[in-house]
């Protein structure tokens, strides 16, 4: 079932909610509206895993039903993010229309004794939950405006409240540690008064590794090499959001966002430019690892030494940066007198070495494999590598420590890995773009192998969330809680992981029951998880159905046993793995 979903069910005391009706929006975001479909409760009822527990707003309807000769209570339940095109009022009227239609259809004459109102307590709660289904566009442009409900208040609408929720820019006190072009490096900070939890986020953005790639990067994406145009404030989204409905477990942490402006996968320690300028000399510094060190130093005046938990998180190259720097951050905090437990959250930074279909000249960031880029860059950046991992490889082979499955076993701090099994950036290296081309047999085989190899590389990771989807990065998306593996969202899995670490500190040997945090999809095809993010056709910019995705890969749907006229048939076959 694509898109957000609205649920209507009538719970009896002490039993599982009964499947009555589900309202689901149209696939096209511009034409979103609700209609009847099969309930997601029914969709999940035959699974071994329990059904997902949606974040919901509930409006109580008390009605008299003649067939039972008693008062009965029903609940109109609206899942996160199901918003009609006409706005909340029109949306509520459409839902109530379906309620009335359902009751009439069943021959039940019920009288609503508590009329739902467009304002008041219930409406405030509904507005709070709407943030969970925000469009991905919000994450791309830095986040949406904070909605109602953040941190216990339903009236955060003034400009001062919005400003208080933004992260503020701080440049490093050590002016010798800079971005690639010599401009000041820094970080954004959103403090939460009294909190002893810190989330430090490393931005992603791949790398450059020679004069051509660095000059091209500086020309086309200067924000990844310079702080010249950094705004004074940023809005956090996903796990960086200060809103409880968007970020229920980390909203009350001190949030630190470190912009990526060093192009070295956060590994560099090169502080000087070449003295002699030649045609191949690179006129930049690379200090990613040093930037992290200086940020930690500057945060000591903000109270990080008193922290109980410090989470170092990152997406893409920032995720790889977590793997490369978490030991150093842990040691640095210990040397400063801190006693925090340092943890890592790696999102879409668990790359595989890659086996390109044909040997290409490694001359630019598009055609160069991850291995070639890292080999070239490591020398240019004076890259720092975790010492325990370095000792495992002979001289010249240290580049292997940039790959998660090679470095993971040597790291001491606990790590949680988030990884799409069909990572779009890993596919891009192989010149595979879904939604804009038909795949060759060789490309389709590579894609299948990638999913299989990523799954195998994650099997021994203690804490992991790996949906079988085509996408890249997850934790900073505004709708990050929508995605599930085996009925569990990432937010829930992180909470379970947190509980397990707390129990471990108490020397408990018993895992937390019913609270999983090792979650890898069982199904093997791209997009076979029904909660996968929608794919967009590059030409039309329209969302693709599952069958259109499979057809775009050049697959013969009839040979696969799929009926091209019945998209639901494909979902039932392909989407049953979860």
Which residues share a beta bridge with 311?
199, 343
d(CA 451, CA 471): 12
Q: Computed from CA positions of residues 164, 167, 171, 172, in that sequence, does the dihedral angle turn out positive or negative?
A: positive
Query: What are the backbone dihedrals phi and psi of residue 287, each rounded to the nearest 5 degrees, phi first?
Result: -130, 35
**Radius of gyration, CA atoms only, the chain:** 25
Structure tokens that stand for 465 in this block: 């969330």
Whole-number pLDDT of residue 429: 81
Among 8-22, 162-176, 466-480, the minimum mean pLDDT is found in 8-22
What confidence category does residue 95 fall into, taking pLDDT thresholds of 50, 70 and 90? very low
Range picked from 123-137, 276-290, 457-471 for highest mean pLDDT: 457-471
70 pLDDT band (50/70/90 cuts)? very low
Of the listed ranges 62-71, 183-192, 386-395, the one predicted with least confidence: 62-71
Active site residue 347: no
- CA–CA separation, 314 and 384 (whole Å): 17
C-alpha span between 86 and 20 (Å, rounded): 25
pLDDT of residue 126: 34
Contact 416, 516 (CB under 8 A): no
* pLDDT of amino acid 249: 94
Given 165, 472, 489, 500, the catalytic residue: 472
Mean pLDDT of 201-225: 95
Active site residue 472: yes
Specify which residues 481 forms β-bridges with: none
pLDDT in the model for residue 172: 99
**Active-site residue, selected from the candidate residues 227, 316, 457, 468:** 316
Q: How many residues does the chain have?
A: 578
Q: Given this model, what pLDDT does residue 537 score?
A: 72
For helices 121-129 and 88-105, give the axis angle rounded to 10 degrees: 100
Residue 569 bears catalytic tag: no
Residue 120 has pLDDT above 50, yes or no: no
> Residues 296, 342: contact at Cβ < 8 Å?
no
Of 406, 533, 397, 421, the residue nearest 478 (C-alpha) = 533
Which residues, in sequence order, are bridge partners of residue 7?
Answer: 22, 77
Per-residue pLDDT for 344 more than 60? yes
| Inter-residue contact 139 to 238 (CB < 8 Å) | yes
Residue 124 pLDDT greater than 60, yes or no: no
pLDDT value for 459: 95
- The band of 368, judged by pLDDT with boundaries at 50, 70 and 90, is confident
Mean pLDDT of the chain: 74
Residue 275 is predicted with a pLDDT of: 63
Query: What does the pLDDT look like over 518-574, one tens digit per residue?
Result: 999 998 888 889 999 988 776 777 777 767 777 766 666 666 666 555 544 444 444
End-to-end Cα, the chain, rounded Å: 12
* pLDDT given for residue 439 in this prediction: 78
Q: Which of 10-19, 179-188, 261-270 is predicted with the least confidence, judged by mean pLDDT?
A: 10-19
Is it the case that residue 476 has pLDDT exceeding 90?
Answer: yes
Non-local (6+) Cβ contacts of 224 within 8 A are 205, 217, 260, 261, 263
- How far is CA 359 from each of CA 355, 368, 423, rounded to the nearest angstrom? 9, 10, 21
- DSSP three-state, residue 253: coil
* Ramachandran region, residue 231 (left: φ > 0; alpha: ψ -120 to 50; beta: rest): beta
Kindly name the residue from 423, 482, 498, 521 that is annotated as catalytic.
423
Residue 318 CA to residue 380 CA, distance in Å, equals: 19
> Which is more confidently placed, 97 or 463?
463
Per-residue confidence at 64, pLDDT binned at 50, 70, 90?
Answer: very low
* pLDDT band, residue 185 (cuts 50/70/90): very high
DSSP 308: S
Which pair of tokens denotes residue 301? 């005046």
Q: Give 261-303 pLDDT, tens digit per residue.
A: 999 999 999 998 766 666 667 889 999 999 999 999 999 999 9
Q: What is the pLDDT of residue 519?
A: 98
More confident residue, 316 or 18: 316
CB 126 within 8 A of CB 57: yes
């Amino acid at each position: 079932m694509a898109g957000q979903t609205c649920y209507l069910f009538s719970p009896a005391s002490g039993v599982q909610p009964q499947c009555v009706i589900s309202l689901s929006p149209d696939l096209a975001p511009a034409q979103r509206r609700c209609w009847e479909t099969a309930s997601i409760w029914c969709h999940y009822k035959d699974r071994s895993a329990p059904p997902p527990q949606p974040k919901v707003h509930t409006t109580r309807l008390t009605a008299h039903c003649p067939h039972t000769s008693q008062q009965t209570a029903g609940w109109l339940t609206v899942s996160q993010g199901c918003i009609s095109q006409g706005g909340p009022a029109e949306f509520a009227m459409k839902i109530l229309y379906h309620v009335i239609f359902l009751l009439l259809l069943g021959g039940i004459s019920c009288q609503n004794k508590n009329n739902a109102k467009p304002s008041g307590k219930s409406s405030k709660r509904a507005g709070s939950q709407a943030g969970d289904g925000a469009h991905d566009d919000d994450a791309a442009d830095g986040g949406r405006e904070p909605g109602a409900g953040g941190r216990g208040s339903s009236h955060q609408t003034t400009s001062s409240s919005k400003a208080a929720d933004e992260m503020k820019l701080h440049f490093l006190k050590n002016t010798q540690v800079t971005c690639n072009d010599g401009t000041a490096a820094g970080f954004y900070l959103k403090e939460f008064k009294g909190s002893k939890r810190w989330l430090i986020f490393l931005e992603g953005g791949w790398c450059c590794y020679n004069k051509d790639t660095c000059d091209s990067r500086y020309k086309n994406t200067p924000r990844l090499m310079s702080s010249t145009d950094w705004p004074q404030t940023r809005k956090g989204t996903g796990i960086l959001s200060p809103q409880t409905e968007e970020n229920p477990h980390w909203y009350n942490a001190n949030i630190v966002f470190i912009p990526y402006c060093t192009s070295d996968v956060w590994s560099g320690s090169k502080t000087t430019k070449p003295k002699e300028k030649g045609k191949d000399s690179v006129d930049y510094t690379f200090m990613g690892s040093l930037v992290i060190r200086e940020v930690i130093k500057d945060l000591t005046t903000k109270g990080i030494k008193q922290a109980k938990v410090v989470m170092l998180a990152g997406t893409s190259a920032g995720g790889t940066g977590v793997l490369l720097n978490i030991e150093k951050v842990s040691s640095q905090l210990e040397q400063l007198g801190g006693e925090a437990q340092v943890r890592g959250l790696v999102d879409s930074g668990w790359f595989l070495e890659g086996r390109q279909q044909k040997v290409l000249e490694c001359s630019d960031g598009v055609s160069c494999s991850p291995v070639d880029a890292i080999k070239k860059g490591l020398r240019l950046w004076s890259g720092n590598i975790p010492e325990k991992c370095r000792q495992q490889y002979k001289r010249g082979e240290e580049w292997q420590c940039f790959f998660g499955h090679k470095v993971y076993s040597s790291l001491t701090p606990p790590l949680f890995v988030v990884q799409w099994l069909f990572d779009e950036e890993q596919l891009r290296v192989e010149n595979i773009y879904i939604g804009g081309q038909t795949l060759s047999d060789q490309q389709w085989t590579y894609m299948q192998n990638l999913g299989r190899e990523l799954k195998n590389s994650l099997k021994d990771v203690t804490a992991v969330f790996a949906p079988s989807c085509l996408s890249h990065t997850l934790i900073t998306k505004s709708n990050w809680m929508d995605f599930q593996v085996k009925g569990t969202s990432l937010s829930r899995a992180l909470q379970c992981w947190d509980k397990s670490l707390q129990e471990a500190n108490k020397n408990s040997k018993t895992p937390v029951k019913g609270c999983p945090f090792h979650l890898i999809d069982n199904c093997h095809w791209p997009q076979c998880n029904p909660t996968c993010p929608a794919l967009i056709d590059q030409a039309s910019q329209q969302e693709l159905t599952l069958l259109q995705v499979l057809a775009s890969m050049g697959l013969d749907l009839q040979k696969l046993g799929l009926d091209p006229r019945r998209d639901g048939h494909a979902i039932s076959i392909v989407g049953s793995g979860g």
